[in-house]
């Protein structure tokens, strides 16, 4: 049977090390939302990674293109929930528990039905017993890196949480955190200010039609994820449960079928409300 594939070639020393790191993780991961590594080949100073090419676009290509109208609200929320789900797998259930280290729109691949695959595992790190790791350099994509990388060179699963929060805010606003920085604005500050002033509707991507209640709850969760102190960020498991509760309240029941989530919850908003009301988890910007 014919199969579409893509081949990535790496030759310089840093790229070689990163792609070998990616290959070492991908061979052990089995999840419908993780890109599939079909094989790799080492030839002297070069390494080739062979991937299943079952995607049509990156999420960045669809969100950042102002004239693209392929992603309505339902598709966007389903993608957000899917990214949360795969991060729960990586942090808690994978054979080798890992921190992805570079969750961003360019690393989210979409097929023709908008099903996602997470790629870009070159910065991935194995989780140790303390869930806190000190690194020699700053991994990830410039502009999306969690602040603790810069201050402590410390990484934990909460760094992925921060990246996820940025992803949520970019999907909701249709704005690139990097492009806004060039214009002298910080996406997080931009959203947080409008959140505080009750003017979120002014900054939500005009291409989506979303209920105000769902919009507010989704932005709330995104802002919880990007708090400067990682202690104040939820875990990805809590985030997924909160988002699944919101999805259930909107009758997106089929999106929430997951071995780690109980869809029989009586009160769809209970977890979200208890989290939002927890004084230790109020937004700190």
> Which tops the pLDDT comparison, 163 or 1?
163
Tell me, yes or no, whether 135 lies in a domain: yes
Number of domains in the chain: 1
The secondary structure of residue 46, as a DSSP letter, is E
SS3 (DSSP) at 242: helix
pLDDT of residue 259: 41
Tell me, yes or no, whether 23 lies in a domain: no
Does residue 140 register a pLDDT over 70? no
Half-sphere exposure of 276 (CA within 13 A, CB side): 16
Q: Which residues are catalytic?
A: 102
* Residue-number span of the structural domain to which 177 is assigned: 55-281
List % helix, strand, coil for the chain (3-state, nearest 5).
45, 15, 40
Does residue 275 register a pLDDT over 50? no
pLDDT of residue 5: 59
Q: CATH number of the domain at 275, please.
A: 1.10.510.10
pLDDT of residue 116: 94
Tell me, yes or no, whether 127 lies in a domain: yes
Residue-wise pLDDT tens digits, 72-95: 999 999 999 999 999 999 999 999
Tell me, yes or no, whether 140 lies in a domain: yes
Tell me, yes or no, whether 27 lies in a domain: no
Does residue 163 register a pLDDT over 90? yes
Tell me, yes or no, whether 254 lies in a domain: yes
Q: State the pLDDT confidence band at 237, using cuts at 50, 70 and 90.
A: very high
Residue-wise pLDDT tens digits, 60-69: 999 999 899 9
Greatest Cα pair distance, the chain, in angstroms, is: 59
Place of tokens 């507010």: 216
Does residue 206 register a pLDDT over 50? yes
Tell me, yes or no, whether 59 lies in a domain: yes
Does residue 235 register a pLDDT over 90? yes
Residue-wise pLDDT tens digits, 119-134: 999 888 888 766 666 5
Range among 43-47, 49-53, 101-105, 267-271 with highest mean pLDDT value: 101-105
Burial 248-276 (b: 16+ CB within 10 A, else e): bebebeebbeeeebeeeeeebbebbeebb
Tell me, yes or no, whether 32 lies in a domain: no
Q: State the pLDDT confidence band at 13, using cuts at 50, 70 and 90.
A: low
């Amino acid at each position: 049977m014919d199969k579409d594939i893509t081949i990535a070639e790496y030759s310089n020393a840093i790229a070689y090390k990163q792609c070998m790191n990616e290959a070492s993780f991908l061979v052990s991961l089995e999840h419908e939302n993780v890109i599939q590594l079909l094989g790799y080949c080492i030839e002297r100073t070069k390494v080739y990674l062979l991937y299943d090419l079952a995607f049509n676009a990156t999420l960045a290509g669809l969100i950042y293109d102002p004239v693209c109208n392929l992603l309505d609200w339902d598709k966007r929320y389903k993608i957000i929930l899917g990214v949360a789900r795969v991060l729960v797998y990586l942090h808690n259930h994978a054979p080798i528990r890992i921190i992805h280290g570079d969750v961003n729109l360019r690393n989210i691949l979409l097929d023709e039905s908008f099903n996602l695959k997470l790629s870009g595992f070159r910065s991935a790190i194995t989780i140790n017993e303390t869930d806190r790791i000190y690194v020699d350099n700053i991994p990830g994509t410039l502009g999306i890196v969690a602040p603790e990388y810069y201050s402590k060179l410390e990484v934990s699963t909460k760094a992925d949480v921060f990246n996820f929060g940025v992803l949520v805010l970019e999907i909701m606003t249709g704005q690139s955190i990097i492009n806004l920085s060039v214009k002298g604005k910080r996406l997080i500050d931009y959203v947080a200010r409008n959140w505080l002033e009750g003017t979120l509707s002014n900054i939500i991507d005009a291409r989506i039609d979303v209920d105000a209640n769902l919009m507010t709850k989704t932005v709330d969760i995104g802002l919880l994820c990007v708090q400067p102190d990682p202690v104040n960020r939820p875990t990805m498991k809590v985030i997924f449960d909160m988002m699944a509760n919101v999805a259930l309240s909107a009758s997106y029941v089929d999106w929430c079928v997951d071995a780690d989530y109980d869809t029989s919850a009586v009160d769809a908003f209970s977890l979200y409300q208890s989290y939002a009301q927890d004084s230790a988890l109020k937004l700190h910007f």
